[in-house]
Structures are given as C-alpha cells and as structure tokens.
Amino acid sequence: MEQLERGHVRRAAMVAPAKPGAVPGRGNIYMRARCWSACILACAFLIVFAPRGAKAAGQPCDRACLNGLMDRYLGALVAHDPSRLPLSAHVKFTEDGVRLKPGDGLWATASGLGSYRLEFAEPEAGEAGAFALIEENGTPAILALRMKVADGKITEVETLVARKQTTAFLNTAALTEPPPIFLEAVPSAERLPRQEMIRIANSYFNGIEQSNGNIVPFDKDCVRIENGIQTTNVTSPGRSSLPGAGTFNLLALGCRDQFNTKIFSYIRSVRPRRFPIVDSERGLVLAVVRFNHPGNIQSVEVPGHGKVAMGRYAQWPNSTQIMELFKVRDRKIREITAVIVTAPYKASMGWE
C-alpha cells in the first residue's frame, strides 16, 4: 500500500498543472526540439571527426574504408601502439611467417614511414594490401602487408619485411613513388573475372617450375622489380647477378626470355601459393608464395651460352618468402613488383 501511495505521489508530481497563461504542451515541444538539435549536432560531429576507415559493425568496408584502415595501421605501427586499431579479439598476425602478437616484431622497431606506398584492395573480400617504405631504428626497409577486415574489425595481418641485414639484394633508394601503371584503373568493360586473373598470375609460377616462359602470357614490355631493384630489361652494360656468367647478362633480358634460359632451374618448386587479393578495378593480383631452393643445382646449360654457374641462393638449402604483385593488362602480365625475404628451407609461412 505504501508503495502504491508513493507511486501515486510521483505520478501526481509528473502531471503538475501548468502555470497560468501557459499553452499546454509547449514546454514539451521546446524540449523535444532541443533534444533533436543535440542529436543532429552529435551525428554531424561523428561524421566529420570519425577516423578514416571507420565503419559500423556489419557494414561492408569499401575501398576508402580499407585504405583508411591501412593508414591507421601504419600510423599505429610507427607509434608502437596497436591499441589504436580496431583489432579483433582473435586477430592473427605474422611477420616473415612467424606468428606474433600485435606490438611485437616490427611494432617495437619501426621508427618512420617513407614516401613510397603502393596500396591495393579487394573490397568484396574485405582484403587490403600495401608495399611501403619504412624506417626501422633509422634504417630503411620495405614492408609488404596484407590485411583482412570483417565486421569493422581487423582479423588478419600478414607481413614481410625486407631488411638490408637479412636479404641479399635491396635498393630502398629507388623506391620514391609507385609505378603509375599500378595505379591505373581498368575500364569496367575490360575487367576480368577473379579466377581468370588468378590463372594468369599462377601461370608465372608454373613457368618458373618448368623453366618455360612460353606458357606465361607476358606482355612484350614486361618489367619486374624485386626489393626495389629492376631485374629485367636492364640496359646498363656489364650488369649480371650471376657469378661466373661471363658475357651472359641475365638482367638485360625480358621476362619471357629469362625463363627460357632455364637459369631459374635452382628454384625446384613454388609452393605454397596463395592469391588473397584480386583488385579488379586496377587489374592487380597479389600472390603470396614460397620459392624452394634445395641447393643441389650448381650450374645450368643456357641455350647459346653454355654452362652458367648458379647464383647465391643456389649454394645451400633455403627458401624465399615472397609477396608478388602483378599488373594484368589485356590478359597479359605487364609489370611485376615483389618483396622478398630469405627463410630456412621450406619454413612455414604461417598461413598454410
């Protein structure tokens, strides 16, 4: 009874009579108007000042969203602060094939970002990637990064870091801006299905395993860049990456002709292979692969040049982990850029 009486008093207070001369309901109207104004201002604030790349859970992350998250990731990386990112509670992160926790590895040593950054994305798959010039304790290095996003959270981060201390060849000074061809959009009517793009890129690795450039749809002007170094169609006289090659200059050849020399015979297999990102808008395919070198092939018979000694990677059992980006135009491989790190023979890449 006492509770009912208290409830009656409260209800009475809520419906107290208006002051003489007041228009019934006008105060409520003013109150609602003020509430709506506050809500509109709050929403406008969130729209203007929300971090680039922010998306509500359940909404698809489009290209702008994915690029924004990539910006935020690189900013958080050099700040050594993964808490700045919308990471999934079970995010998977690897560096050079080793599973780490965000905050470990390059997270502790990154000291700056360079001007070079090549970004690509497949919004339909929630995937984004980037090749970026970074500094690690003041020393330039190249970062290759793949990121997966689901429900507004980063669920996967895969990275390779090409460092001067751990790779046989690296030229960070050559990386000033991305090749324009990688930024060109493909007209909608000329975009290929995802599986066809993968088939074209995959034929490149079949060509390596079979020492046969004729099975790969290379453009006649195909160019390949590895760790910032152009490794095809190099016209500088006397340049050859192969000790004992004599007058044979591998780097002067084009993509197809290099394969047909059989000089890559020391790469006995390209396994595993994955193609996690197909950027159909720009005609790009990202491959993540491992080249396996057993170290038991020391020379090869090059047509027209005789026996040629193998290079550094043929001297002992080892593998290279690679993120390789292909530009496909008119169903042909027009340009390739890759980030490569040396690894123990057939070491796990962390995603098999």
Q: Over the stretch 133-155, which tens digit does the pLDDT of each residue have?
A: 999 999 999 999 999 999 999 99
Task: Output 239 or 204, whichever has higher pLDDT.
Answer: 204
Whether residue 273 contacts residue 287, with contact meaning beta carbons closer than 8 Å, is answered with yes
> What number of other Cβ atoms are within 10 A of residue 264's Cβ?
23
Q: What is the mean pLDDT of the chain?
A: 87
| Interatomic CA distance for residues 207 and 40, integer angstroms | 60
* Predicted model pTM: 0.84
Output the CA torsion sign for 301, 304, 306, 307. negative
What tokens were used for 55? 């998306």
Which helix H or strand E contains 207, and what residues bound it? Answer: helix 194-210
Asked whether the predicted pLDDT for residue 69 surpasses 70, the reply is: yes
DSSP 8-state code for residue 86: -
What is the spatial order of strands in the sheet that 218-226 belongs to? 229-230, 218-226, 332-344, 318-329, 284-293, 269-279
What tokens were used for 346? 């057939």
| Interatomic CA distance for residues 84 and 98, integer angstroms | 23
Q: Which of 145, 127, 144, 155 is nearest to 61 (CA)?
A: 127
Quick: pLDDT tens for 239-277: 555 444 556 789 999 999 999 999 999 999 999 999 999
Identify the band that residue 235 occupies on the pLDDT scale cut at 50, 70 and 90.
Answer: confident
Identify the band that residue 47 occupies on the pLDDT scale cut at 50, 70 and 90.
Answer: very low
- The pLDDT, as a whole number, for residue 3 is 44
- The pLDDT, as a whole number, for residue 249 is 87
| Residues 154-161, mean pLDDT to the nearest whole number | 98
- The pLDDT, as a whole number, for residue 15 is 39
Query: In a 10 Å sphere around its CB, with 0-12 CB exposed, 13-18 middle and 19+ buried, how is residue 305 labelled?
Result: middle
In sequence order, the 6+-apart residues with CB closer than 8 A to the CB of 157 are 73, 91, 92, 93, 94, 102, 145, 146, 147, 148
| Residues 234-243, mean pLDDT to the nearest whole number | 62
Domains of the chain (ranges; CATH) run 63-164 (3.10.450.50), 180-344 (3.10.450.50)
Q: Which of 107, 110, 95 is nearest to 321 (CA)?
A: 95
Identify the band that residue 56 occupies on the pLDDT scale cut at 50, 70 and 90.
Answer: low
Asked whether the predicted pLDDT for residue 20 surpasses 70, the reply is: no
| Interatomic CA distance for residues 123 and 245, integer angstroms | 46
| Interatomic CA distance for residues 340 and 168, integer angstroms | 10
- The pLDDT, as a whole number, for residue 161 is 98
